[in-house]
């Protein structure tokens, strides 16, 4: 049911920007959307208290924001345009009122920022801990950007800088919706995914799905300041964090060299870094700044 | 993310009937659907262990089935054609493997029965109890059947028989997708909802949203055998169960009298019962078999 408690429906209606897409909003049995032309893209992601977050180190607003943001990152990885989202909250009985309003606030702020219509939701209370489940809907031309289209010779390209996301970025990251759409609308991109498990792990997934291997030039990997900060106490190198920390929510792209050349003249290229290339065969390899080539073990979050 | 554990993706691929709508299925960042023409309808509903079900009195398969069925019932209440669904499972760590497979089985059986593509999902384990959240997507012409379109003079019509759902029907009910579509495709129906909170409560919702009242003819209300069975031990009458038991998941419809006449010649009418009419003003009234008219207090599950 798209139904929510009446309080929440009214609250949401006041805080959500109106959307032309939303023909029937929260309050009826289901929401009705007029989707822009293209195919419908759908993704679901769930955040659980004690597994994905602890309120000792984050606010309910951050959880609400992130619950939508991770889904928008998945839409970005398909080069889809976000249209709408629904959320389901399983709330602890004792803190339901305050917590749910703050979660909604974070969720609604993110939705408004990306022009996402809040199409409905479901809230329940129980004795258990908080579960926030969000389903996002977008549209895309054709089949969007899969993980399986990388071809030997394509450059391995990433957005942003990587590693150390745990220090804060995993809450306040900006889903790469705009970059993905700009690339997909104007250039040929062969494959994309978002870096949620860690660069090397997600690159491994793209290689497996695409039936090829990849060589990373370690000297080219953009390392986030947070990765250096984390390295000062973790006993690991900043590069190691950049290669294997999860939840960067940057894009990992397979771009043909001729397209990469053209993209270089586009301002969007300032947010992109070429870090290697897809190659025939299978497996990951790392090339050191001195040119030594060795196998690279994919590391990161294992589902 | 539309991603699931690889085991589950493979398992699902084997058990799901292929769907022309599903251009990109589980395993990529998000699923891509080619929707039939019409507007996109979306609804979410969540079942929580200890709140909505207990494994002492149901099987994981029943939970999986119901988690999808309640959403299909919401789609039916909009006269939408179901297309796809995604599910999110928060599983107790100690029983995750077996439970999740059985839930998936129930979910997939229901999906296959209604031609619903399983577009993705998200599974996580934790120390807490089970949460199953499902988002279903369908298509509808125009805005579908709202709750707010009932007009004074319309008949109040229901599908099936009501009450005592707790004895079993709330798990094995058949969402009224087919009846809703047949009615919407061939006749003018002013409003619809599914009876999830209880007949009188849901009728009250329709009246409030539509800005009218309603009179129920108590002698016409179709009473389920289960309502009689329950009455034998509950100390309440079968009619009381029919009026206020939740989770019947039948349709409650507002149908203009001229359309009702025409529907009478359609075999679908065998599954419909006229139980009263919408009237000017506000509030619910009950008319006894002897013609006495009294206010009817809406009772049922309160959100």
Residue B6 has pLDDT above 70, yes or no: no
Compute the average pLDDT of residues B164-184. 97
Single out the residue of A148, A156, A99, A90 nearest to residue A124, CA to CA.
A90
> Which chain B residues have a beta carbon less than 8 Å from that of A136?
30
Task: Grade residue A25 by pLDDT with cuts at 50, 70 and 90.
Answer: confident
Q: Flag if B131 and A129 touch (Cβ within 8 Å).
A: no
> Which chain A residues have a beta carbon less than 8 Å from that of B6?
303
Between residues B265 and B10, which one has the greater pLDDT?
B265
Q: Flag if B135 and A29 touch (Cβ within 8 Å).
A: no
Q: Which residues contact A148 (CB under 8 A, 6 or more apart)?
A: A191, A206, A209, A210, A211, B28
pLDDT score at A8? 67
pLDDT score at B193? 98
Compute the average pLDDT of residues A229-236. 96
SS3 B226: helix
How many CB atoms within 10 Å of residue B24?
Answer: 25
pLDDT score at A300? 87
Complex confidence, ipTM = 0.93
Size of the A and B interface in Cβ pairs below 8 Å: 222
Between residues A5 and A52, which one has the greater pLDDT?
A52
> Which chain A residues have a beta carbon less than 8 Å from that of B303?
3-6
Task: Grade residue A97 by pLDDT with cuts at 50, 70 and 90.
Answer: confident
Residue tagged 């398909």 (tokens): A78
> Which chain B residues have a beta carbon less than 8 Å from that of A137?
40, 42, 137
Confidence (pTM): 0.94
Minimal CA separation from A182 to chain B, in Å: 18
Task: Grade residue A257 by pLDDT with cuts at 50, 70 and 90.
Answer: very high
Residue A3 has pLDDT above 50, yes or no: no
Cα-flanking dihedrals φ and ψ of residue A206, to 5°?
Answer: -60, -45
For residue range B204-230, list pLDDT tens digits in order.
999 999 999 999 999 999 999 999 999
Between residues A177 and A120, which one has the greater pLDDT?
A177
CA-to-CA distance for B36 and B20, rounded, in angstroms? Answer: 10
Q: Flag if A48 and B75 touch (Cβ within 8 Å).
A: no
Q: Flag if B143 and A23 touch (Cβ within 8 Å).
A: yes
pLDDT score at B2? 42
Percentage of chain B lying above the pLDDT 90 cut: 86
Compute the average pLDDT of residues A181-203. 97
Q: Flag if B28 and A147 touch (Cβ within 8 Å).
A: yes
Compute the average pLDDT of residues B268-296. 97
Q: Flag if A30 and B2 touch (Cβ within 8 Å).
A: no
pLDDT score at A1? 41
> Residues A101, A11: contact at Cβ < 8 Å?
yes
Q: Flag if B127 and A48 touch (Cβ within 8 Å).
A: no
Between residues B99 and B257, which one has the greater pLDDT?
B257
Q: Name the DSSP letter for residue B271.
A: G
Tell me the CA end-to-end span of chain B in Å, nearest whole number: 30
Residue B10 has pLDDT above 80, yes or no: no
Q: Flag if A32 and B40 touch (Cβ within 8 Å).
A: yes
Task: Grade residue B1 by pLDDT with cuts at 50, 70 and 90.
Answer: very low
pLDDT score at A6? 64
Task: Grade residue B301 by pLDDT with cuts at 50, 70 and 90.
Answer: confident
> Which chain B residues have a beta carbon less than 8 Å from that of A23?
39, 143
For residue range A157-175, list pLDDT tens digits in order.
999 999 999 999 999 999 9
Which of B47, B135, B196 should we substitute to test contact with A (largest number of A Cβ atoms within 10 Å)?
Answer: B135
CA-to-CA distance for B2 and A144, rounded, in angstroms? Answer: 14
Give all strands of the β-sheet with A293-295 in edge-to-edge order.
A191-194, A251-255, A155-159, A272-279, A213-217, A283-287, A293-295
Task: Grade residue B300 by pLDDT with cuts at 50, 70 and 90.
Answer: confident
Which of B12, B38, B40 should we substitute to test contact with A (largest number of A Cβ atoms within 10 Å)?
Answer: B40
Minimal CA separation from B20 to chain A, in Å: 13
Compute the average pLDDT of residues A231-239. 96
Residue B302 has pLDDT above 70, yes or no: no
Residue B199 has pLDDT above 60, yes or no: yes
Task: Grade residue A17 by pLDDT with cuts at 50, 70 and 90.
Answer: low
Which two structure tokens, joined as six digits, stand for A175? 């889903």
Q: Which residues contact B124 (CB under 8 A, 6 or more apart)?
A: A46, A48, A51, A52, B89, B90, B91
For A131, the closest of B23, B71, B90 (CB atoms) is: B90
Q: Flag if A128 and B128 touch (Cβ within 8 Å).
A: yes
Task: Grade residue B25 by pLDDT with cuts at 50, 70 and 90.
Answer: confident
pLDDT score at A15? 65
CA-to-CA distance for B293 and B291, rounded, in angstroms? Answer: 6
Phi/psi-derived region of residue B264, left when phi > 0, alpha when psi is between -120 and 50, beta in every other case: alpha
CA-to-CA distance for B237 and B208, rounded, in angstroms? Answer: 27
Cα-flanking dihedrals φ and ψ of residue A280, to 5°?
Answer: -60, 155
Minimal CA separation from A89 to chain B, in Å: 8
Q: Flag if B43 and A31 touch (Cβ within 8 Å).
A: yes
- Mean pLDDT, chain A, integer: 93
CA-to-CA distance for A157 and A163, rounded, in angstroms? Answer: 16
For B122, the closest of A46, A148, A193 (CB atoms) is: A46
pLDDT score at A98? 84
pLDDT score at A148? 96
For residue range B59-118, list pLDDT tens digits in order.
999 999 999 999 999 999 999 999 999 999 999 988 778 898 899 999 999 999 999 999
Q: Which residues pair with B214 in a beta bridge?
A: B278, B284
Q: Flag if B192 and A133 touch (Cβ within 8 Å).
A: no
Minimal CA separation from B50 to chain A, in Å: 8
Beta strands in A18-109 (DSSP E): 22-24, 31-33, 39-48, 81-92
**Length of chain B (residues):** 303
Query: Which has the minimum average pLDDT: A95-99, A215-219, B143-147, B243-247?
Result: A95-99
Task: Grade residue A27 by pLDDT with cuts at 50, 70 and 90.
Answer: confident
> Which chain A residues have a beta carbon less than 8 Å from that of B119?
42
Which two structure tokens, joined as six digits, stand for A139? 């549209």
């Amino acid at each position: 049911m798209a139904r929510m408690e009446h309080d929440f429906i009214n609250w949401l209606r006041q805080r959500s920007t109106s959307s032309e897409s939303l023909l029937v909003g929260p309050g009826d049995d289901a929401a009705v959307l007029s989707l822009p032309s293209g195919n419908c893209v759908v993704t679901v992601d769930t955040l659980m208290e004690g597994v994905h977050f602890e309120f000792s180190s984050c606010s309910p607003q951050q959880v609400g924001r992130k619950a939508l943001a991770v889904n928008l990152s998945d839409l970005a990885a398909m080069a889809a345009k976000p249209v709408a989202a629904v959320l389901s909250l399983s709330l602890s009985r004792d803190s339901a009122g305050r917590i749910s309003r703050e979660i909604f606030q974070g969720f609604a702020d993110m939705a408004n920022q990306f022009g996402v219509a809040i199409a409905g939701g479901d809230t329940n209370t129980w004795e258990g801990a908080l579960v926030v489940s969000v389903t996002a809907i977008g549209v895309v031309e054709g089949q969007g950007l899969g993980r399986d289209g990388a071809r030997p010779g394509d450059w391995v390209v990433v957005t942003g800088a990587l590693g150390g996301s745990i220090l804060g970025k995993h809450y306040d990251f900006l889903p790469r919706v705009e970059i993905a759409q700009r690339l997909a609308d104007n250039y040929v991109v062969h494959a994309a995914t978002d870096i949620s498990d860690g660069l090397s792990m997600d690159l491994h997934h793209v290689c497996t799905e695409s039936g090829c291997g990849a060589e990373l030039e370690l000297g080219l990997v953009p390392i986030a300041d947070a990765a250096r900060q984390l390295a000062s106490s973790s006993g690991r190198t900043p590069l190691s964090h950049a290669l294997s920390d999860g939840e960067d929510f940057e894009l990992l792209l397979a771009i043909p060299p001729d397209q990469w050349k053209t993209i270089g003249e586009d301002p969007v290229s300032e947010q992109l870094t070429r870090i290697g290339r897809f190659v025939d065969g299978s497996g990951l390899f790392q090339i050191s700044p001195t040119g030594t080539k060795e196998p690279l073990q994919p590391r990161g979050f294992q589902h």
